[in-house]
Amino acid sequence: MSNKETGFDVSLGKATSAFSKLLCELGTNGKRVIENLDRDPVYARRIARFMQNNGHSLYVSQMRAREIMGNNFLAIEDVIKHFGVSFTDDEMAALRDIPFSEAELLECKDTHVLFPGYPISQQEIYNRVPNLFFKKYWYNCRNLDSKKKVELRWYLIRKDIVECSKNRTYQEQTEERLTVNEEVPRECELIYMIILYFMVYQVRLFENVFARCADSSYSGVRAIVGYFGSEGLHIPGCADDRSEEHVGLAASWKF
C-alpha cells in the first residue's frame, strides 16, 4: 500500500479487526473515547496525530516551549498577572501540555506567538485596560459580538500578517496565502494576544497594519485589528470584497 492511500483504502475486514483490537485495549473507557471522537473534532485530530506518531507524544513541556519560543512565549503567569484572572485546578490541568510538536514550534519560533488562552471576552479586556484601545473602539457600527470569549487552550498565532496578503480580498487572502496548517483566528483571540504581548514585553504588534479576522457582522463587514500605535489598538471593519494596501490577513496554527 502506498503512502498516499488512506484508512478508507484498507479492506473492511482488516479495518474491523484493527478497530476491535483497539476497543479491547480501551476496555471500560471505550464508550467515552468513541463518543469523544464522534463529537469533538479537536479531540479526534489530537488522537490521530498521536497514532500517526506511532504512539509517542507529540507534545512538549511548557519549559521546553519557552526555551524554543524565547520572547514569543507568553506564560500562564503572565495572563494571571496582567489580566487579573485566576485559573482553577482543572483549567491548569487542561493547559499542562503544549499541544504542538517541537518541530512545529521550531518552525514557528520567529513568526508566531505561543500563549495560553483564558475564557475572557474582548469587552472584559477593554474594561481592564481601556487606555490600550483607540477611543472610538466601542462606537463602531459593525455589530460584532464583543462578548465572545477566548477559549481555554494554547494558541500559536502569527505576530504579523501573512506574507504577501495585502492588496487582496478576503477570499484571495484565505485561498492563496494561508498554508494547510493555518486558519484565521477570531477577533477576540488576536486582541488578547496583542494586548497581553504588549503588557509583558512593551512591544506593539501590528503597529502599522490591519489584520483581517474570522469574525464578520450581519452586513458582511469583517473585523480587522491593528494600527496599535500610541492612540491604542484600532478595531474597525473592512468589506470582504475590498483589497487594501494596509489590510492583510491574521493566521493561527491549527489546534
Measured CA to CA, the distance from residue 69 to residue 102 in angstroms comes to 10
pLDDT of residue 23: 84
Amino acid at position 135, single letter: K
More confident residue, 46 or 241: 241
Assess whether pLDDT exceeds 60 at residue 143: no
> pTM above 0.75?
yes
Three cell numbers written together for 62: 511548557
Residue 59 · residue 70 · CB < 8 Å: no
Residue 237 · residue 170 · CB < 8 Å: no
Q: Which residue has 492612540 as its cell numbers?
A: 231
Element housing 157 (H / E): strand 154-158
Q: Which residues contact 34 (CB under 8 A, 6 or more apart)?
A: 23
Tens digits of per-residue pLDDT, 96-140? 989 998 999 999 999 999 999 999 999 899 999 999 999 765 444
pLDDT band at 21 (very low <50, low <70, confident <90, very high): confident
β partners of residue 114: 73, 156
Measured CA to CA, the distance from residue 140 to residue 120 in angstroms comes to 21
Measured CA to CA, the distance from residue 197 to residue 200 in angstroms comes to 5
Measured CA to CA, the distance from residue 252 to residue 6 in angstroms comes to 27
Summary mean pLDDT of the chain:
88
Residues in the chain: 255
Q: Which residue has 484498507 as its cell numbers?
A: 10
pLDDT of residue 1: 40
Of 39-53, 67-81, 204-218, give the range with the top mean pLDDT.
67-81
Element housing 223 (H / E): strand 221-229
β partners of residue 98: 60
Residue 152 · residue 120 · CB < 8 Å: no
**What are the DSSP E strand ranges found in the chain?**
112-116, 154-158, 182-183, 210-216, 221-229, 232-234, 237-239, 247-249, 252-253
Element housing 214 (H / E): strand 210-216
Q: Which residues contact 239 (CB under 8 A, 6 or more apart)?
A: 220, 221, 222
Assess whether pLDDT exceeds 80 at residue 56: no
CA-to-CA separations, 46 to 3, 38, 119, in angstroms, rounded: 20, 13, 21
In degrees and rounded to multiples of 5, residue 213 shows phi and psi of: -115, 180
